[in-house]
Amino acid sequence: MSGLTPVVDSSDHVQGSPSASVTLVEYGDYECPYCGAAYPIVKRLQQSLGDSLRFVFRNFPLSEAHPHAMLAAQAAEAAAASGNEAFWRMHDMLYEYQSALELDDLVHYAEEIGLDTSRFLRDLEAGTFAARVQSDFRSGVRSGVNGTPSFFINGVRFDGDYTQDSFEAALRRAAR
């Protein structure tokens, strides 16, 4: 079992209470079909576990397999520059429209969520957030991530399947 490196801190994208009994960290790729399949499961877990679950997302774009993954991750980070809520709205759009991750699509999503699209486009074209994405990626490598999605529950890698029942059982055990 691999441990999470670094631990969750203020630079992470977090949903949920800092005092939650369980922290679930996902290393994900917005173009990965397996991450896309896990996305609604994580959403349901957040609903069913409520305040006892804190969810953290870190970028792990597998650019060789997914040509749009790096740009999509930078789009999420560009949204984050406008606040945590903007990040999560972009995150959700990227997974909900996973088959449409071209630059024009990303700009459309930015417009949909109310971002300054001129600034957003400049940031993407300049690679303003590429270093942030790479930092997440490197932390995943240090944590033993070699594919997506990869999950950690309270800092310990979760190697079970991510069906609703299996995942929820593991999270509830960790909450005890």
* Averaged pLDDT, groups of 10, the chain, 176 residues long: 85 95 97 97 95 97 96 98 97 98 98 98 97 98 96 94 90 89
Neighbours of 13 (CB within 10 A): 18
User: What residues does each domain of the chain span?
Assistant: 13-175
pLDDT for 175? 86
pLDDT for 176? 80
Measured CA to CA in angstroms, residue 129 lies from 5, 7, 86, 120, 138 at distances of 21, 21, 15, 11, 14
Q: Which CATH superfamily is domain 13-175 in?
A: Glutaredoxin (3.40.30.10)
pLDDT for 2? 65
The answer to whether the beta carbons of residues 21 and 50 sit under 8 Å apart is no
Q: pTM for the complete prediction?
A: 0.96
Which residues in 87-99 are b (16+ Cβ under 10 Å) and which e?
bbbbbebbbeebe
pLDDT for 138? 97
φ, ψ (nearest 5 deg) of residue 15? -120, 130
CA dist., res. 127 & res. 68, Å (int): 14
CA dist., res. 142 & res. 134, Å (int): 12
CA dist., res. 52 & res. 55, Å (int): 10
pLDDT for 162? 83
